[in-house]
Amino acid sequence: MRTTRTVDLVYFNAGGGHRASALALESAIRRAGLPWAVRLVNLREVLDPNDGFRRLTGMDPEDVYNKRLARGWTLGLAQELKLLQGMIRWCHATLVRQLQQHWLATEPDMVVSLIPNFNRPLCEALASTLPGVPYVTVLTDLADHPPNFWIEEGLDQDLICGSARAVEQALAAGHAPARVHASSGMIIRASFYDEPPVDRRAERARLGLDPDRPTGIVLFGGQGSKAMLGIAKRLPDTQLILACGHNTKLADALRELPARAPRLVLGFTPDVPRYMALADFFMGKPGPGSLSEAVHMELPVIVVRNRWTLPQERYNTQWVRERGLGMVCSSFTRVGEAAAELVRHLDRYKAATRKVRNRALFELPVMLEGILSRAERPLPGALVTPLDL
């Protein structure tokens, strides 16, 4: 009989945050020493194994979404989300059949979803194919965007929620309290906990920055955003670290901009914790991952909430306001005023970030171990046969 338990982490590459969360959770499970075989499952590859979408369009579905984020074409995504959810429900029976075949072929002992919108077909296919195998949804947003984004009613699943608001939403949707697990935040990479102390003045000087000047780090995920150009133009006197991810054209354009304060323009780098350690505050979109990383590194934040803000990220700006973690602007045209205000009260905002103690990286493996152990525990009075040993 198989002794090593197999745990599947389901993700996709849209936006990058779901894959980053899956990798962070895989690392956390390994770090916790759990004797599991962890498999990363890209849902797009399961549902489109022959790359039909790529052959038809020349790109993966996730690439379309990511390019829109990089260009700032996010207006109207709330309406498109409803269309996507309608299509998922229209294709529900087909999706369930595909996923049933996948679960039959791979036989996981636990499935952990780190994606929204598809949890009903994923969970129902697993329950009908491998009864008793636990299905867990880890919200990688601070709160749900109802209806049917993260939290679905009537599913046999566990939910791991990274905020009090998400816990409230799960309970209001009818999930049993014993199946709703509260973590202290979003899961972020272990490198944010392992970053060694840095001599900020010496390292800034080495990189061509002023050691004593207030410094902002501008970050819009792995694809960057053209909004960074507007921010840089409006802050010519502010020392900035501009992290452009894979967007080389954006990095080149930023390097050509005139500025009166020193700047450091970065392409893709895995050393985000190191550069955050050199900064005093953060500017970017209100994504749950980048916000959680910045606050963990004690960086107050400047973010925007308006019609272009992704619908699932709008609550994050409320979280920033409620906890006093920084400034929420209606537009990055106000970034100059916001940066000046933040720097004037930097100590107060930094004190607020220190009150947020995010230990999700260490909490989630313990939660998952408990869920798996509960599922494998024989019911009271059940007979144990040799096949169970």
194 within some domain = no
> What is the number of helices (H) and of strands (E) in the chain?
18, 12
Burial of 154 per CB tally in 10 Å (0-12, 13-18, 19+): exposed
45-56 per-position pLDDT tens digit = 999 876 544 444
Burial of 61 per CB tally in 10 Å (0-12, 13-18, 19+): middle
Residues 256 and 339 in one domain: yes
**Cα distance between residue 94 and residue 114, in whole Å:** 21
Confidence band, pLDDT 50/70/90 cuts, at residue 310: confident
Residues 160 and 270 in one domain: no
Confidence band, pLDDT 50/70/90 cuts, at residue 307: confident
Confidence band, pLDDT 50/70/90 cuts, at residue 82: confident
Residues 271 and 146 in one domain: no
pLDDT of 51:
53
pLDDT of 33:
95
**Higher local confidence (pLDDT), 32 or 4:** 32
Residues 105 and 207 in one domain: no
Residues 250 and 333 in one domain: yes
Longest dimension (CA), the chain: 77
**Cα distance between residue 224 and residue 268, in whole Å:** 9
Q: 383: which DSSP letter? A: P
Q: How many residues does the chain have?
A: 389
**CA dist 312 → 62, 158, 201, 299 (Å):** 17, 21, 38, 22
pLDDT of 112:
98
Work out the average pLDDT over 29-44: 96
Asked whether the predicted pLDDT for residue 383 surpasses 50, the reply is no
248 within some domain = yes
Q: What is the domain-level CATH number for residue 293? A: 3.40.50.2000
Residues 369 and 241 in one domain: no
Cis bond upstream, residue 288 (ω within 30):
no
pLDDT of 203:
97
Residues 123 and 16 in one domain: yes
pLDDT of 157:
96
Asked whether the predicted pLDDT for residue 244 surpasses 60, the reply is yes
**Cα distance between residue 168 and residue 11, in whole Å:** 25
Residues 238 and 286 in one domain: yes
**What is the tally of structural domains in the chain?**
2
193 within some domain = no
Tokens of 273: 């914790």
Residues 234 and 88 in one domain: no
- The least confident of 84-98, 318-332, 336-350 is 84-98
pLDDT of 16:
60
Asked whether the predicted pLDDT for residue 109 surpasses 90, the reply is yes
196-239 per-position pLDDT tens digit = 889 999 999 999 999 999 999 999 988 888 899 999 999 999 99
Q: Which domain holds residue 348?
A: 199-354
Residues 160 and 261 in one domain: no
**Cα distance between residue 62 and residue 93, in whole Å:** 23
**Higher local confidence (pLDDT), 140 or 380:** 140
pLDDT of 147:
85
Residues 148 and 37 in one domain: yes
Q: For the sheet with 326-329, list strands across it.
A: 263-266, 239-243, 215-219, 281-284, 301-304, 326-329
Residues 133 and 204 in one domain: no
37 within some domain = yes
